[in-house]
């Protein structure tokens, strides 16, 4: 999984999957370039201070850093500079205006010519004057932007452009490229990979730090634990436990559990001790017509986005999805149904998110997985439980797992004493007698490079960095399109449809699963956080696809997504309601007198009148969910914001609509009237 991190956050997921997809924009990146913007962060301190610089690839020409935060954990909080470089490729000449909003100072240069330069203050953007549009040439245009924070290390900026046929908007990520093989970016992304591995493999639990404690790390990233094993026998079969201990990656190539230096006899002893804790419950009765119902529900709920269906082959382009063939060998029936209903019950840091399944769905899926998985019986393992407990104490299993076992006197070196070529990071960890994490050469190099930063980087609050890493580690792009590239699920669906068309309720594109490209600029942070952590109902109740709840890391991911788009942690201030404007909104929503929005959109308790192709979102929640900025841009030209949008463009090139008897047909004023009117309605 992590090998492709060094290719950049934007191309990570699809490169890992083996997909080859052409960009949607006609100006396709050249082979020596890749999607994304090169950004270099630099701490600006006294002349005699240690230089701190970190380069990586960014999605957008925007950022926000709040006081006490940093843009990257490899640069300490405080006054900083961010230098961006990207190529904007156009299929034809354009004359465009540019605008930068935020706080701090900024300079924008295009093709070597200064375009905007000055201090940013809230509510006072820098903007190209009317009549002074910048001439952009056909082909490659070189953009350079230098941003400096305020003296306290906080600041934000958002770059927008406007052309002859579109208003101010961010430059779409798929239009921006940078050199594919940049040494500074390669080194910076190696450090990011090292930090991700350091956290995921829980390295700090064995290799203690001198000054800081694991529990003090930013976003508790070093504080994660493995599953509680004090009732392991109620959940897992003994023979599977023994085989897992001998080689976790035999079952899960992405397993974070290392292969311990155990003999088969020792693995059998440890498995016997674990299996003796807790008794299996009674498995629920399997529903009728299990094969058809189970497979259909697996697809409807979107399980297929992250998991291979039982029996599916590991074909090229499987998207990094996890094979579930081993499920019958591992799970006790009753425990699997309970796990699917509440994955975090015995493992608060489980990677599997909570789909909030009903009991019936959990039983159906558990029964189907158990019936459809591997029928191969594992070799029997008979061990001595008393010896197994002593082995658990010797190997320090209690450092990562809930266990009623002591941890032997510390036998692992502290962080300061680690030798980068030894132990877990040796080229052959098994020969070194250390736990074997299955690291490849790139992963070992990343961890070795990260060791110099391990005392500081994990303790710096950097939501931008956290979100960039977790878009992939939390598998967001398995279900959601991002930056012009379809999701893994959509790609799988396309392949399936080529053979046998799937029902609409199993097709994420037909259902309208939203993309993530603009989500940080689209949604109010407070609403988005409630939704991602499972506290808010979906605004798309027609979806069979289930948005899971990320209770622990979801809030930080949301904050990072907002920062990517140049917004802080707070919601956009509410716009005051003008009754004289809002009065027109009711008419504009209606059929016959307006745009007919109520045909596809429910309005409060009133359902949509006659849905065309697919239902739209219920409208009275709009002001609670959306930023006004995004709403305005969306209404002006929905297909430009989202090429998959079913909503048509109502405004012509002159900013007029066909409804000339309301507000003189002025599109901007009409759309604002709808927004104002929605604010007068109580969300359901």
Q: How many CB atoms lie within 10 A of CB 167?
A: 17
Q: What is the pLDDT of residues 56-114, one digit of tens each?
A: 999 999 999 999 999 999 999 999 999 999 999 999 999 999 999 999 999 999 999 99
User: Region 143-163: what's the mean pLDDT?
Assistant: 97
pLDDT (0 to 100) of residue 6: 36
Question: Sign of the C-alpha dihedral, residues 31, 36, 37, 40?
Answer: negative
pLDDT band at 26, cuts 50/70/90? very low
| 154 close to 66: Cβ distance less than 8 angstroms | yes
The total number of residues shown for the chain amounts to: 684
The gap from C-alpha 130 to its chain's centroid, in whole angstroms, comes to 39
Checking if the pLDDT of 682 tops 80, the result is: no
User: Region 488-499: what's the mean pLDDT?
Assistant: 94
Q: What is the pLDDT of residues 530-587, one digit of tens each?
A: 999 999 999 998 899 989 999 999 999 999 999 999 999 999 988 888 889 999 999 9
pTM over 0.95: no
pLDDT band at 28, cuts 50/70/90? low
**What is each CA distance from 641 to 230, 361, 580, in whole angstroms?**
51, 36, 30
DSSP-assigned beta bridge partners for residue 144: 85, 109
Q: What is the pLDDT of residues 362-402, one digit of tens each?
A: 999 999 999 999 999 999 999 999 999 999 999 999 999 99
DSSP of 356-393, one letter per residue?
Answer: ---HHHHHHHHHHHHHHS--PPPPP----HHHHHHHHH
Which DSSP category does 173 fall into? G
User: Region 490-518: what's the mean pLDDT?
Assistant: 94
Distance CA 577, CA 373 (A): 58
DSSP-assigned beta bridge partners for residue 656: 666
Distance CA 477, CA 488 (A): 7
Distance CA 126, CA 291 (A): 61
pLDDT band at 411, cuts 50/70/90? confident
Distance CA 56, CA 627 (A): 29
259 three-class SS? strand
Residues contacting 292, CB < 8 A, separation 6+: none
Checking if the pLDDT of 496 tops 50, the result is: yes
pLDDT (0 to 100) of residue 11: 41
């Amino acid at each position: 999984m992590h090998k492709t991190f060094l290719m950049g956050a934007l191309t990570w997921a699809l490169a890992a999957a083996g997909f080859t997809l052409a960009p949607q924009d006609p100006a396709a990146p050249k082979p020596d370039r890749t999607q994304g913007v090169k950004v270099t962060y630099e701490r600006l301190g006294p002349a005699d201070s240690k230089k701190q610089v970190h380069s990586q690839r960014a999605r957008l020409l925007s950022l926000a850093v709040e006081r006490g935060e940093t843009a990257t954990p490899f640069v300490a909080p405080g006054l900083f500079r961010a230098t961006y470089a990207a190529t904007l490729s156009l299929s034809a000449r354009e004359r465009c205006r540019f605008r930068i909003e935020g706080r701090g100072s900024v300079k924008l240069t295009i093709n070597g010519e200064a375009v905007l330069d000055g201090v940013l203050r809230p509510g006072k953007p820098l903007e190209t004057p009317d009549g002074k549009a910048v001439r952009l040439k056909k082909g490659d245009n070189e953009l350079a932007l230098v941003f400096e924070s305020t003296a306290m290390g906080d600041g934000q900026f958002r770059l927008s452009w406007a052309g002859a046929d579109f208003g101010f908007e961010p430059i779409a990520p798929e239009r921006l490229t940078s050199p594919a093989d940049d040494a500074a970016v390669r080194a910076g992304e190696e450090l990011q990979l090292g930090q991700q591995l350091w956290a995921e493999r829980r390295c700090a639990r064995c290799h203690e730090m001198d000054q800081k404690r694991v529990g003090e790390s930013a976003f508790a990233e070093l504080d994660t634990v493995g599953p509680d094993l004090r009732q392991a026998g109620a959940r897992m079969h003994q023979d599977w436990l023994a085989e897992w201990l001998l080689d976790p990656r035999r079952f899960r190539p992405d397993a974070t559990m290392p292969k311990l230096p155990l003999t088969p006899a020792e693995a059998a002893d440890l498995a016997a001790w674990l299996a003796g804790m807790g008794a299996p419950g009674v498995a629920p009765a399997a529903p009728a017509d299990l094969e058809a119902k189970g497979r259909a529900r697996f697809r409807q709920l979107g399980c297929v986005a992250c998991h291979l269906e039982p029996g599916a082959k590991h074909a090229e382009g499987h998207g990094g999805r996890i094979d579930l063939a081993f499920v019958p060998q591992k799970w006790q029936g009753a425990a699997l149904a309970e796990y699917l209903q509440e994955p975090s019950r015995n493992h608060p840091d489980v990677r599997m998110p909570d789909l909030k399944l009903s009991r019936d769905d959990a039983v159906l899926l558990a029964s189907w997985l158990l019936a459809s998985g591997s029928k191969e019986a594992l070799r029997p393992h008979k061990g001595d439980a008393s010896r197994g407990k002593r082995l658990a104490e010797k190997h320090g299993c209690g450092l990562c797992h809930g266990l009623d076992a002591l941890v032997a006197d510390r036998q692992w070196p502290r962080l300061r004493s680690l030798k980068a070529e030894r132990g877990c990071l040796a080229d052959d960890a098994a020969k070194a007698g250390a736990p074997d994490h299955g690291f490849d050469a790139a992963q070992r190099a990343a961890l070795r490079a990260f060791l110099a930063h391990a005392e500081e980087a994990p303790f710096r609050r950097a939501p931008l960095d956290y979100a960039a890493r977790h878009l992939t580690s939390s598998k967001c792009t398995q279900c959601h399109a991002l930056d012009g590239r379809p999701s893994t699920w959509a790609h799988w669906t396309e392949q399936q449809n080529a053979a046998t068309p799937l029902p609409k309720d199993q097709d994420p594109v037909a259902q309208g699963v939203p993309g993530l490209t603009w989500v940080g600029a689209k949604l109010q942070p407070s609403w988005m956080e409630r939704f991602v952590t499972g506290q808010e109902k979906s605004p798309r109740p027609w979806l069979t696809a289930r948005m899971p709840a990320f209770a622990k890391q979801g809030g930080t991911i949301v904050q990072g997504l907002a920062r990517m788009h140049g917004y802080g942690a707070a919601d956009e201030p509410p716009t005051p309601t003008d009754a004289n404007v809002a009065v027109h909104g009711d008419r504009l929503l209606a059929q016959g007198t307006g745009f007919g929005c109520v045909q596809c959109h429910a309005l409060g308790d009133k359902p949509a009148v006659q849905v065309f192709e697919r239902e739209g979102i219920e409208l009275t929640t709009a002001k609670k969910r959306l930023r006004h900025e995004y709403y305005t841009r969306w209404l002006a030209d929905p297909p430009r914001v989202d090429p998959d949008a079913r909503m048509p463009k109502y405004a012509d090139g002159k900013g007029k609509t066909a409804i000339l008897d309301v507000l003189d047909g002025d599109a901007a004023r009409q759309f604002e009237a709808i927004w104002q009117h929605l604010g007068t309605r109580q969300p359901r």
